[in-house]
Amino acid sequence: MEYVRFGNSGLKVSKLCLGLWHLPPLKERDIYGVYKVDEEESIRIIKKAIDLGVNFIDTANIYHGTMQGPDYIHAGKAEEVLGKAIRGYDRESLVISTKVRGRMAPWPNGEGLSRKHIRWQIRESLRRLGTDYVDIYLMHRPDPSTPIEETLDALKDLVTQGLVHYVGESYFHPDDIQYIYEYSRSIHLPFIAMQEPYNLIERDIEKDKIPLAKKYGLGIMAYIPLAQGVLTGKYLNGIPEMSRASYVDEIRWRYLTPETLKAMREFHELAKELGVTDAQLALAWILRKSEELGVTIIPIIGVTSVAQLEDNLGSLDVKLSGDVMSRLEEISRMAKVNWEVRYDRVIKLNSP
Ligand SMILES: NC(=O)c1ccc[n+]([C@@H]2O[C@H](COP(=O)([O-])OP(=O)(O)OC[C@H]3O[C@@H](n4cnc5c(N)ncnc54)[C@H](OP(=O)(O)O)[C@@H]3O)[C@@H](O)[C@H]2O)c1
């Protein structure tokens, strides 16, 4: 495994991060109709990743494992599973990121980025994870009802207390990221991370957020690097049983357009020609873009089996030529992602 500096910070991370938004589902559902998490396979995946050199693991307080937008009844499960999996490893060998913002309880302060909510949730996350600190604590979407300065001052206190080492944002407006960076510097808060969607067919961040990351030396954690599985070729002949699209409707509306499926067929042919899997080609493209752009971009891979994990880690050995990059550029232009059915939009805060 190769390790790189995360942006301009001194933190060293593996070139791929393991993400725990989705975990392998069991076929059995709970009393709310939600698929139960296959904890044994989840723990096998996390341990295997660590044993293969992945030191970077991403989760969130809200994550369940089989729900995209978990309710507060299901929230917390992914952190608990991670806590079980890392028992027995030296905590200092790992870089763990988690997030705060989503609803964790029905009461008024049960969500958000207020000082009160953050101080409650860091304690809860640490309890679920079974650890003393979080390496990167991310603001999981903006909270327009809390002044951003209150949030950043509260995060600074967590850093001073040793509960958090670094902080980051996810899906904030570029103007707000700039303000967050500047305010953080003024209070000596180590703001180092952006977590943003990025893959061959969803490249919005190339316009504004990648230039910002470059300007400020921030590292990017690229989420949905395989467009939730669409870039693995698994949907070329329908929707396989228990695949993510079989229980998450949004994938069908957002990605499975005739244009994207056509692009994915060409993508599949190109991968075959190169003797790699579709997933490896898609991840290798992001790693190559990171080099070209001169910005740390770490794909956060989500997997539901050890076999998928091993397949995806194979991308680290794939080197793409300029010619292949040009062909991928054409394929990227052919795809049509339905932005109008995106699950959320960037909210602009009233930062000065
Ligand atoms: N900050 C945010 O708001 C945010 C939002 C989304 C995600 N994230 C982070 O990003 C991480 C990754 O997101 P993601 O899970 O959507 O990533 P992804 O890599 O785009 O999609 C992962 C899914 O693709 C399928 N897959 C992966 N590798 C495969 C392979 N080799 N062969 C066949 N199928 C394969 C699996 O789905 P099935 O097997 O179930 O079909 C897997 O769960 C999350 O875990 C989370 O940490 C953050």
Domain count, the chain: 1
Residue 49 pLDDT exceeds 70: yes
d(CA 193, CA 138): 8
What is the CA(309)–ligand 1 centre distance, in A? 11
Q: Is 64 in the pocket of ligand 1 (CB under 6 A)?
A: no
Is 0.85 topped by the overall pTM?
yes
Which pLDDT score is estimated for 343?
Answer: 46
CATH number for 106? 3.20.20.100
Pairing of strands 12-14, 3-5: antiparallel
E strand intervals along the chain: 3-5, 12-14, 17-19, 25-29, 35-37, 56-58, 95-100, 134-140, 164-170, 191-197, 219-223, 297-301
Of 198-202, 265-269, 312-316, 335-339, the range with the lowest mean pLDDT is 335-339
Residue 347 pLDDT exceeds 90: no
Cα angle for residues 299, 227, 306 (degrees, 5° grid): 65
Residue 299 pLDDT exceeds 60: yes
Is residue 216 part of the annotated active site? The answer reads: no
Q: How many CA atoms lie within 13 A of 36 on its CB side?
A: 10
d(CA 299, CA 14): 10
Q: How far is CA 149 from the centre of its chain?
A: 25
Whether residue 352 lies inside any domain: the answer is no
**Residue 170 β-bridge partners:** 140, 195
Whether residue 346 lies inside any domain: the answer is no
d(CA 180, CA 149): 8
Nearest to 165 by CA among 345, 323, 10, 328: 10
What's the average model confidence in pLDDT over 209-229? 98
Q: Is 227 in the pocket of ligand 1 (CB under 6 A)?
A: yes
Q: Which of 66, 205, 228 has the most ligand 1 atoms within 8 A of CB, as the residue to mutate?
A: 228
Whether residue 284 lies inside any domain: the answer is yes
Of 45-49, 251-255, 262-266, the range with the lowest mean pLDDT is 251-255
DSSP state of 24: P
What is the CA(252)–ligand 1 centre distance, in A? 15
Q: Is 104 in the pocket of ligand 1 (CB under 6 A)?
A: no
d(CA 172, CA 183): 15
What is the CA(244)–ligand 1 centre distance, in A? 9
Whether residue 351 lies inside any domain: the answer is no
Residue 339 pLDDT exceeds 80: no
What is the CA(154)–ligand 1 centre distance, in A? 31
Instruction: State residue 18 phi and psi, 5-degree precision.
Output: -95, 130
Tens of pLDDT along 118-159? 999 999 999 999 999 999 999 999 999 999 999 999 999 999
Tens of pLDDT along 176-195? 999 999 999 999 999 999 99
Residue 323 pLDDT exceeds 90: yes
Whether residue 179 lies inside any domain: the answer is yes
What's the average model confidence in pLDDT over 248-271? 94
CA-closest residue to ligand 1 atom 5: 223
Share of the chain above pLDDT 70, in %: 97
What is the CA(250)–ligand 1 centre distance, in A? 14
What's the average model confidence in pLDDT over 239-246? 96
The first and second tokens of residue 226, run together, are: 């395989």
The first and second tokens of residue 62, run together, are: 């809200």
What's the average model confidence in pLDDT over 300-326? 98
Whether residue 244 lies inside any domain: the answer is yes
Whether residue 347 lies inside any domain: the answer is no
**Residue 169 β-bridge partners:** 139, 194
What's the average model confidence in pLDDT over 196-206? 96
Mean pLDDT of the chain, nearest integer: 96
> What is the residue range of 159's domain?
3-341
Q: Which of 48, 196, 308, 346 has the most ligand 1 atoms within 8 A of CB, as the residue to mutate?
A: 308
The atom of ligand 1 lying closest to the CA of 195 is 1
Q: Which of 22, 140, 169, 254 has the most ligand 1 atoms within 8 A of CB, as the residue to mutate?
A: 22
Whether residue 48 lies inside any domain: the answer is yes
Q: Is 234 in the pocket of ligand 1 (CB under 6 A)?
A: yes
Pairing of strands 219-223, 191-197: parallel
**Is residue 342 very low, low, confident or very high in pLDDT (cuts 50, 70, 90)?**
low
- Do the Cβ atoms of 57 and 95 come closer than 8 Å? yes
Which pLDDT score is estimated for 350?
Answer: 65
